[in-house]
Amino acid sequence: MLNAVFNALFKHKVLLEGCLLKPNMVTYGSEHPKKKENNIVEEAIRTVRALSRTVPPALAGVTFLSGGQTEEEASLHLNEMNRITTIRRPWFLTFSFGRALQNSSIKAWHGKD
């Protein structure tokens, strides 16, 4: 799927140095038996490996969605991805939207003055 995205961008002469990719992380599905285990390192490696095989180095950065993860899970995944040194990772990795980091504050606030 990512190959098709980048082929289309190349075809339309889009400057990748000015683009950000906004994908989900590669994690086990909510019904998978391994979902309950602590697989942060494994999922981080799988995410970075998938990106390294498809995302050109010219891309400015990869900005992740939280994908329904808790704030802690999303932060742990992102931290682990940024610690990986054994897989080529030429782009910046960060969150695309702070929702993953703001959710508990929003819930506590409830829109009250």
| Whole-angstrom distance, CA of residue 87 vs CA of residue 64 | 18
Please list the residues that pair with 21 across neighbouring strands.
62
User: What's the pLDDT at 83?
Assistant: 96
Spans in the chain with pLDDT lower than 50:
none
| Whole-angstrom distance, CA of residue 109 vs CA of residue 105 | 6
| Residue 11 structure tokens | 């075809």
Q: Which residue bears the tokens 């490696």? A: 45
Measured at the CA of 22, the angle between CA 108 and CA 19, to 5 degrees, comes to 130
Is the dihedral angle over the CA atoms 57, 28, 71, 85 positive or is it negative?
A: negative
Residue-wise pLDDT for 85-96, tens only, equals 999 999 999 987
pTM for this one?
0.81
